[in-house]
Amino acid sequence: MKVLLDEMYSAVIAEQLRARGHDAVSVLDPPYDWLRGAPDLVVFTTAHAEQRVLVTENVSDFRRLEDEASASGRAHAGLVYTTNRQFPRGDPATIGLLVQALDRLLVQQPILSSTVFLKPYAAE
C-alpha cells in the first residue's frame, strides 16, 4: 500500500516509513510540497490518482469528500484517520507512535479499500 501523509504530520514520519520498506511520501516532501496549503479536494484527488492511501487528521473535511465520492460512485485509494488525542502533535513521542502504528497497519493490511481510524500500536 502506498501512503500520502497530509501536511499536519512531520515529513520524518514518511522518511522513517520508507526506511522500513514502505512507499510513503509526505505533502512536505519536495516532490509533493506543491500540495502544502492546497485545497483538500486537490490532496484527495492526488492521493487517489497515485493510488495512495491518505493519512490525515482532518476527519471532517475528508469524510465529506469521501462521502461525496462514494455517492457519485467514485472510488478512492483509502483513508487513514488519526486524532490529536491519540497522537498529540506537541508530544515528541508522537512521531515514533505514528511510525509504529502505520508500519503495523501497512504490514497487516497491504491493501486498504476503506477507511481506518488509526490507534497507537500496543505491543502484545
pLDDT value at 124 more than 80: no
pLDDT value at 92 more than 60: yes
Q: Whole-angstrom Cα distance, residue 85 to residue 77? A: 25
Residue 93's domain comprises 2-117
Could you tell me if residue 39 is inside a domain?
yes
Could you tell me if residue 77 is inside a domain?
yes
Per-residue pLDDT of 46-78, as tens digits, reads: 999 999 999 999 999 999 998 888 888 887 788
Per-residue pLDDT of 17-34, as tens digits, reads: 999 999 999 999 999 999
Taking all residues of the chain, what is their mean pLDDT, rounded to a whole number? Answer: 90
Residue 113's pLDDT is what?
66
Query: Is 84 in contact with 116 (CB distance < 8 Å)?
Result: no
For 57, half-sphere exposure in the C-beta direction (CA atoms, 13 angstrom radius) is: 12
How many domains does the structure of the chain reveal? 1
Residue 39's pLDDT is what?
97
Residue 80's pLDDT is what?
94
Measuring CA to CA, how many Å separate 40 from each of 6, 58, 122? Answer: 10, 9, 31
Could you tell me if residue 56 is inside a domain?
yes
Q: pTM to 2 decimals? A: 0.91
Could you tell me if residue 87 is inside a domain?
yes
Could you tell me if residue 124 is inside a domain?
no
Residue 19's pLDDT is what?
98
Cα–Cα nearest to 2, from 102, 70, 74: 102
